Structure 1
Amino acid sequence: MMKKTMLAACVIAASVSVTFAQQWKPAGDKILTSWGEQLDPNNVHQEYPRPQLKRQGNWQNLNGLWKYKITAKDQSETPTSWDGDILVPFAVESALSGVGKSVNKDQALWYNSEIELSKKNKKGGRVLLHFGAVDWQCDVYVNGEHIGRHEGGFDPFSFDITQAIKKGKKQEVAIRVWDPTSDGPQPRGKQINDPHGIWYTPVTGIWQTVWLENVPETYIASTKQTPNVDAGVLEISANVESVQSGDQLLIEAYDQGKKISEITVNAAESAKLSVPNAELWSPSSPKLYDLAVKVLRKGKIVDQVDSYFAMRKIERKADSQGIMRLALNDEFLFQYGPLDQGWWPDGLHTAPSDEALKFDLVKTKEMGFNMIRKHIKVEPATWYRHCDSLGILVWADMPSGDLGGNNWDMQPGKVTNGVHDKERSAESEGYYRKEWKAIMDALHNFPSIVVWVPFNEAWGQFKTKEITEWTMAYDPSRVINSASGGNFAFVGDILDIHNYPDAAMPDARLFGDKYALVLGEFGGLGLPVDGHTWQQKDNWGYQSFKNPEELQNRYKEVIGNVAALISRGLSGAVYTQTTDVEVETNGLMTYDRKVIKIPEATLKSIHQTLYDVKVN
């Protein structure tokens, strides 16, 4: 076991009001997951929320019942009365929030809670208030003082609230949220004010964990960790707040508790940590190493965070026929996975528990998939940690926003040079660029992510060449799928088309020597299961069936068609989808996760035919 160093700052003890917790219950009459049915409002998402930057013993989870009020958008003063309780971190529209109300563009959502700091809180440390995600514009007040504003619905953020804390008193935290959903130009993914078809219920407000952390004056705010397999090193740097001249970083790598490497550098410098005889990470062998990063001052540790990393390499690489393929650790691996939208009937964007969050991933692995396309949504950090541990490749989409006004060609084998970029305002472009960078920064250290996807089906797609080239330059350690769906600008590493329900691929004769060719979406075979649907009628799939036998036979047929394309140049495929979502019933599982439509072992056997195809 690696040594744990106690921080100079003390643990924060906080309490979130749980008054009337016994009165909390899910709102509305929609189906619930088993985890939602058993949810305890006093014990919600208590796991440590940041597995890639972990401090021991000095954090406090603030999830639980807060007060809420829906006001006019222009109300700038903290309310003096409240509409009731809301269960954080579930969006106000969700059943598990206990509220189940909509908030429109002319309204604001306010939160309030009292937090009690422990007397052990010493002078000299800093108190940080962290948010996993809040959709969309978030203003934070502590004891009436405006601490700051954050705009972005999918990236984590923090505020230093030290100066606003009052000694010997409970600390009042108020949060104001404004979210125009589809009436605004901001990234929003699948949310829409009028849910229908492939567009879902809005998500407003806090939807990931809220927590406090006590840190020393000089502390590690973030690290950047990039494996370099060819050089046998982990390239690593740290952002250290209030660093002093002469401060150093001591970086140590561990394998099952045994130290295998260390390096000491100036705190402002990047390091190349040797990883001798590295065991490479892959879906069949998801090897993770532990990491400790310490700030040293005159030989004394002033801060330490624990993390982990993996050694893996992803690239496009030509095979013996000159066709570009996706290669993991220098070897071609056909990447096959479901379109995973990450929606829940009771929590919307938020899984009812971490156990539920992991359930989808475990089932995906048991079904024989080796990849997931996380579709225009970002998950909590713990989701990516599970992917890292289980060995699941991730294609990470940027959530779309500012939709409409685009036309594009996504027909199989036909890709024209007529990319249709949308004209977006400077404000709209700014929201996209800021949040895409923030998302890439927040997720950079997770080795399971192998593909970035800036745009999907021309939804809000703008300046494709510029955005793609920026993405490639900002993170050269991954491959870039510039435009999933066919609105292709001849830039990036991947050419991606969508085709429903049958398998298809881009023309390898025209593009196979330049781009890895993938089928970014196909399938969508639907089967509504009575008692497990979002609504009783008007559900749909791209092709619907009456019973599981019909579904299984058709699924086997379309997978056979995918297998036939691999030798012709196909590098990856994405089946729609992991679960039913609202009125879509084309999931391999029902929306409540209570019914798996085709047995896991059957799916795994069918999928093995894809991995058995030999490519030179």
Structure 2
Amino acid sequence: MNIKNYLLFLSVLLFNCLLVKKSEAQQAKLPTQWTKVAMESTVPFQEYPRPQLERKEWLCLNGKWDYMGGKQVTSALNPIKPISFKDKTEKILVPYCPESVLSGIERNQETNMWYRRTFEIPLAWKGKQIIINFDAVDHDATLFVNGEKAGSHAGGYSSFQINITRFLQAGTNTIIVAAYDPNEGKTPSGKNGPRGDYTFTSGIWQSVWLEPVNEHYIRNIRLLPDIANNQLEVFVEARPAQIKATAFDGKKVVSEISGSTGMKLYIPIKDPKLWSPDNPFLYDLTITLTDNKGNITDEVRSYFGMRDIKLGSVNGIIRPLLNNRFVMQVGLLDQGYWPDGILTAPTEEALLYDMEFTKKAGFNLIRKHMKTEPKRFYYWADKLGLLVWQDMPAIWYQHEDTAKTRSVFRKELNAMIDDLYNSPSIITWVPFNENWGAFDVKEITDWVKKIDPSRLVNGNSGFNNNPDFQKAAGDPGNGDFVDTHIYVGPNGASKPDGKRAASLGEFGGVGLFVQGHMWPVENNAYAYEPTKDRLTDRYVFLMDQVEQLMKYQGLSIAIYTQTTDVEHEVNGILTYDRAVEKMDIERVKAVNKAVIKAGNELNQQMPPDRK
């Protein structure tokens, strides 16, 4: 073979290898019923991403972007200029992370990620300010518009917005996003970190979109229900201007109030319909911003739920009270992982599926474990009537470079609370889990309570457990819960201590192998049952024990592990691909409802003046 033919042979061989590799990357290890739809989607997640601050006009930027990534690519950490996309450019499907099969990349720990796409501003937006919104980019993001640096953000679990108006030009515009994520455990990363259990998630992993606004616009709103005074507290963040807030029950105007930005306003809600898992009623809300001539410069649509959460005494036992009544919280540990999208659900339908299943199975609580979700997750929790405990994703090396790592944790914890503050379904913040990355737990528990006194705080859920590589922080002694994790449990759960309610933050974890529906690794659980019937029997027995602990030991919360199998874990009620219900759901629902009903009956035993 001559040299020319030999080189031709090598080039053909290399091309075929690349095709095979690309083809293999597109084959999901464990597909879900939504995998194909997601892969073929031109624009994934076309629903407006932010339901509590919604505008009529917007442009979704999800879809195929040009992509370059890897440890050898130019550093994406706070670059001063964008890279060239001339060579070795791939396509990535945003908002799926490059580690996922849905993204079209499926490579682990890229570290440096560069994204590029073009767009044109609609003619109707002429003269408007243009805001680009990112729901989440892990971890450090830098935005370039038409070659110029437009802004940056640090934090993998909170949204951010950048005004890009001055960088735009007529016709086609190009944006480049540099995302840097070393996954070294010194920023919040939860199960997605170097000491976590599962596949990493990096880069853009939630929606990206544009929206036009006037020079004076509503940057943010803060909503706080006050059922004691039959009113909603509203705070609008914007330049000094007049605002009008109108609350609706369906199409009927309930109340409206006018005032100024930058100050708290109070909308009267006469005889409010209270939000609860049994009756998740939501009021609609419209907020308009006007200039000194009375012209409307911005209008957003929102919603709110009238509910209250606090601790109180029920027959001498400290318990959490929802709208002044004890509701036994029967929940699922929900890690929100997907075999095709990793931290990103493949579709809106898939995101909703887990939540509707949770409700169908008789649970009234989700503990969102070690991650946040897109805001539409919380919208559906609000809509369906699912209480939410929201964890803060852990850091892993809190004792290294403490001035930096601990400050980053505090900053991103504060950002998470601000980001999700308006959702009525969220009733508890969980700063730390099982001592992972824990530091200054007592101080941070009090700090979170100060940031948001309207909710409960569980400072160190499962303080009785601890990784072997660090010293346990233990029970902070403050906050609203005494919280232990007992596997399999539930016996041994904590008891109320006179000032805090008793919570079983995790228990259960009983596994069942389902052939053909497991992640292709060695799978495990805390205990096992051989059949669906036996697993259901075991669950019913555990919940019967939970009821006894609630009635006679003061337990107020029980959170079963877990909603779905996750990679190497087979202790879900659903398989990881959501294809198989591993228990008899009617029996699960019946025992859950029985435990909640028994909790409701405790309210009836209270003296008349306490009800």
Matched with 2:7 is none
Q: Give 1:507 deviation, angstroms.
A: 5.0
Q: How far apart in 1 are the matches of 2:480 and 2:352?
A: 30
Q: How far apart in 2 are the matches of 1:287 and 1:490?
A: 35
Judged with a 3 Å threshold, the aligned counterparts in structure 2 of structure 1 residues 575 and 171 are, in CA distance, closer, same or farther, namely: same
Per-residue deviation, residues 338-381 of structure 1 (Å, max 9, x unmatched): 00000000000100111110010000000000001000110000
Matched with 2:59 is 60
AA at the equivalent of 2:525: G
Choose the corresponding residue for 1:386, options 380, 388, 402: 380
Per-residue deviation, residues 101-159 of structure 1 (Å, max 9, x unmatched): 1235xx41111111112233322x21111101011111111111011111111000011
Q: Give 1:43 deviation, angstroms.
A: 3.2
Residues 67, 82 of structure 1: 8 Å contact kept: no
Q: How far apart in 2 are the matches of 1:425 and 1:524?
A: 34
Matched with 2:586 is 601
Matched with 1:530 is 515
Judged with a 3 Å threshold, the aligned counterparts in structure 2 of structure 1 residues 24 and 139 are, in CA distance, closer, same or farther, namely: farther
TM-score, length basis structure 1:
0.88
Q: How far apart in 2 are the matches of 1:100 and 1:547?
A: 34
Query: What's the RMSD between the two structures over aligned residues?
Result: 1.8
Matched with 1:122 is 126
Q: Give 1:37 deviation, angstroms.
A: 2.2
Note if 1:438 corresponds to 2:445. Answer: no
AA at the equivalent of 1:589: L
Matched with 1:180 is 182
AA at the equivalent of 1:113: R
Q: How far apart in 2 are the matches of 1:277 and 1:31?
A: 50
Residues 540, 587 of structure 2: 8 Å contact kept: no
Taking the TM superposition and a 5 Å limit, the aligned residue runs for 1:4-153 are: 27-39=26-38, 40-56=40-56, 58-70=57-69, 71-74=72-75, 76=79, 77-80=82-85, 81-104=87-110, 107-123=111-127, 125-153=128-156
Q: How far apart in 1 are the matches of 2:397 and 2:338?
A: 23
Q: How far apart in 1 are the matches of 2:28 and 2:329?
A: 39
Give 3-state SS (helix, strand or coil) of 1:269's partner. Answer: coil
Per-residue deviation, residues 376-406 of structure 1 (Å, max 9, x unmatched): 11000000000000000000001111247xx
Residues 288, 298 of structure 2: 8 Å contact kept: yes
AA at the equivalent of 1:225: L
Give 3-state SS (helix, strand or coil) of 1:226's partner. Answer: strand
Q: How far apart in 1 are the matches of 2:249 and 2:43?
A: 33
Judged with a 3 Å threshold, the aligned counterparts in structure 2 of structure 1 residues 109 and 270 are, in CA distance, closer, same or farther, namely: same
Residues 28, 100 of structure 1: 8 Å contact kept: no
Choose the corresponding residue for 1:265, options 259, 266, 280: 259
Q: How far apart in 1 are the matches of 2:24 and 2:244?
A: 49
Residues 494, 503 of structure 2: 8 Å contact kept: no
How many percent identity over aligned positions? Answer: 40
Judged with a 3 Å threshold, the aligned counterparts in structure 2 of structure 1 residues 190 and 73 are, in CA distance, closer, same or farther, namely: farther
The alignment of Structure 1 onto Structure 2 pairs a total of residues equal to 561
Choose the corresponding residue for 1:253, options 242, 247, 257: 247
Residues 139, 202 of structure 2: 8 Å contact kept: yes
AA at the equivalent of 1:584: E
Q: How far apart in 2 are the matches of 1:44 and 1:220?
A: 27
Taking the TM superposition and a 5 Å limit, the aligned residue runs for 1:311-350 are: 311-320=306-315, 322-350=316-344
Judged with a 3 Å threshold, the aligned counterparts in structure 2 of structure 1 residues 350 and 91 are, in CA distance, closer, same or farther, namely: same
Q: How far apart in 2 are the matches of 1:43 and 1:268?
A: 37
AA at the equivalent of 1:582: E
Q: How far apart in 2 are the matches of 1:121 and 1:265?
A: 28
Matched with 2:294 is 299
Q: How far apart in 1 are the matches of 2:494 and 2:67?
A: 54
Note if 1:468 corresponds to 2:445. Answer: yes
Matched with 1:236 is 234
Per-residue deviation, residues 199-239 of structure 1 (Å, max 9, x unmatched): 10000110000101111100001100000000000001110
Give 3-state SS (helix, strand or coil) of 1:612's partner. Answer: helix
Give 3-state SS (helix, strand or coil) of 1:120's partner. Answer: helix
Residues 257, 267 of structure 2: 8 Å contact kept: yes
Matched with 1:590 is 575
Q: Give 1:31 deviation, angstroms.
A: 0.5
Taking the TM superposition and a 5 Å limit, the aligned residue runs for 1:500-511 are: 500-506=487-493, 508=495, 511=496
Judged with a 3 Å threshold, the aligned counterparts in structure 2 of structure 1 residues 112 and 376 are, in CA distance, closer, same or farther, namely: same
TM-score, length basis structure 2:
0.89
Matched with 2:4 is none
Q: How far apart in 2 are the matches of 1:281 and 1:448?
A: 9
Per-residue deviation, residues 159-188 of structure 1 (Å, max 9, x unmatched): 1111111123x111111111111x140000
Unaligned runs of 5+ in 1: 1-22, 405-421
Matched with 1:496 is 483
